[in-house]
Chain A
Amino acid sequence: MNNQDLMGLEWTNDVESLALKDQDISVRARSGEDRITNGLKWSDDYFYYDQADFHLQIVPEIRKEEENSKKDLTLVVPDEHSETGDHHLHIKDYSDSSYNRRFLRNKHAKPKRRRVQILSDDESGDFSRKVPLVIRKSSKRRIRDDMMSNKMRTLQQLVPNCHKTDKVSVLDKTIEYMKNLQLQLQVMSIMGMNPYIPQATLNFGMHNHLLRAMVIAHGLNPAKQTTLSPLIAGSNWPSPPFSHLSFPHSSNQSLFPTPASSPQCLCGLVPCFPTMMNSRIIITIGFSYIISSIRAYDPDALQDLCVADKSHGTKLNGFPCKETSNITSSDLFVAGISKPAKNNGKSPASVLSAFNSQLPGTVSVAAMLFAAEPALPEDVLTKTFQLGSKMVDKIKDMLATKKSFK
């Protein structure tokens, strides 16, 4: 035991033991501490006296680094030869460069200081209290990064056709996909709930530039007035190069800012979605186009709304329609409506059937909805398209001025 070295220096409480300094005792207590204390750049002229009952540090001259003096650290020197708990090397601020100082510390005096360990030799002055904290922070960061990459991976799996793995493109594609999904849900819910979709309305307006372009892209004859064949081709859809089509958006006044821009990206994405619902997506595209065009306008809307009148006695191909004037917005929107921006409730129970029953030719849903006479109630329009009422008014004005178009 190295204690034998220190035996001669029996600790007494009196000051005379300060004479130790004069004896120029430079005792390295233990080899273990040597290593550590060297790393700590301790002065060599120190020794400490360990006893079970009290902790003493006699530091004759401490040529400390500046950093040491700043902190009040308690270092627990791991040491095979004695219990670590009993060792305290207490450094205080030695502003006076005088002699030995003795600090008698009761080992119970400040129990909190025990825990710190010297972990690295090279950190000069950056003593042990900092090191575990630094390690904790970096591990937290690592954990967070792992979580992020996990979530990126799941997103990548969810979003179709997402082949690049870098964060930016995954996020890009996710945003596009989400917008498209929301739009698709909207259109499908509008179209889906009402079975009274007359035949003529499915002639999707060959006068429409966009649709014509779409049709031409597939080599189909736009002059053919068959109602659905151009769109049925969707089932044999190769990878349609929609991206190369130049959509004459400038010529179209896009009433619905979001649907007008998103058909473009929808088209770009149609070849990308390897789902079974390709044909459905195409229908939604078709509807989006219609919505975004105001080229044609049928002033003669015979029947704009058809809300199933369940109270009616007879049943004719489903329920006959209520009178238009009786339709209230409560009919059309049940509680818990699915509005992608607000909640994910059920889809609306009954939706506007925005199609003209009699007249073939171009039908513009937008015109039908917004400029119909009798006018559809405002709140219905607002709720369906989630536009502000100002927007609804604006659209109505725009449509009113376009009445001369055909």
Chain B
Amino acid sequence: MSSRRSRSSRQTGASMISEDQINDLVLQLHRLLPELGNNHRRSGKVSASKVLQETCTYIRNLNKEVDDLSERLSQLLESTDSAQAALIRSLLM
């Protein structure tokens, strides 16, 4: 991570962020995304706007999943009545 940060430091002199850095980051993002269509990543062909779009939807999905999971957790804990459950409940609430 730190290496990536140091690489993303701005170029001295020019105030422009180089295209390469952005492309790099976009590629990384693309790797993180769940790939529904392509099993072999077409590294040369990713379009930045598409990647960003997918990122937005993916983050929303993940957030929703986290919310669902946590709600399920809390429901489970409500149902099970034991000392352990009480502990966990105190953790979560």
Contact = CB atoms under 8 A, between A and B. Distances in A.
* 8 pairs of A and B residues whose beta carbons are closest in the complex: A171-B25, A151-B52, A195-B80, A181-B62, A192-B73, A168-B8, A188-B69, A158-B59
Given A148-B48, A168-B17, A168-B25, 13 more contacts: A158-B59, A168-B22, A175-B32, A176-B1, A188-B73, A192-B72, A195-B76, A202-B91, A228-B91, A234-B91, A265-B1, A277-B70, A280-B92
Interface stretch (A28-36, A296-304, A342-350): A342-350
A172 B55 CA distance: 13
A228 B90 contact: yes
A24 to B, nearest CB: 58
Contacts of A261: 1
B73 A174 contact: no
B91 A231 contact: yes
A202 B61 CA distance: 30
B46 interface: no
A272 interface: no
Interface of A: 144, 147-148, 151-152, 154-155, 158-159, 166-169, 171-172, 174-179, 181-182, 184-185, 188-189, 191-193, 195-199, 202, 227-228, 231-232, 234, 261, 265, 277, 279-280, 283, 317-318, 338, 340-344, 347
Contacts of A166: 17
Nearest to A151: B52
Nearest to A148: B49
Contacts of A147: 49
A347 B59 contact: no
A165 to B, nearest CB: 12
Interface in B25-77: 25-26, 28-29, 32, 34, 36, 48-49, 52-53, 55-56, 58-63, 65-66, 68-70, 72-73, 76-77
B83 interface: yes
A100 to B, nearest CB: 54
A158 B17 contact: no
Contacts of B22: 167-168, 171
Given A148-B52, A283-B92, A175 B65 contact: no
A231 B92 CA distance: 10
Given A154-B56, A175-B25, A197-B88, A181 B34 contact: no
A8 B37 CA distance: 73
Given A177-B59, A185-B62, A227 B48 contact: no
Nearest to A277: B70
A147 B48 CA distance: 10
A239 to B, nearest CB: 20
Contacts, number: 133
Contacts of A344: 34, 58, 61-62, 65
Interface residues of B, number: 48
A167 B23 CA distance: 11
Contacts of A174: 29, 55, 59
A158 B34 contact: no
Contacts of B92: 279-280, 283
Given A228-B91, A279-B91, A344-B61, A168 B69 contact: no
B14 interface: no
B65 to A, nearest CB: 6
B36 A343 contact: yes
A342 to B, nearest CB: 6
Contact of B65 (A169, A185, A198, A199): A185
B49 to A, nearest CB: 5
A185 B56 contact: no
Contacts of B53: 151
Nearest to B36: A343
Given A168-B22, A347-B69, A182 B87 contact: no
12 contacts: A151-B49, A155-B52, A168-B22, A169-B8, A171-B26, A178-B29, A188-B73, A192-B76, A232-B91, A261-B1, A318-B80, A347-B65
Contacts of A231: 91
Nearest to A268: B1
Contact of A343 (B25, B34, B85): B34
Contacts of A318: 80
B59 A178 contact: yes
Given A148-B49, A192-B73, A232-B91, A178 B58 contact: yes
Contacts of B32: 175, 178-179, 182
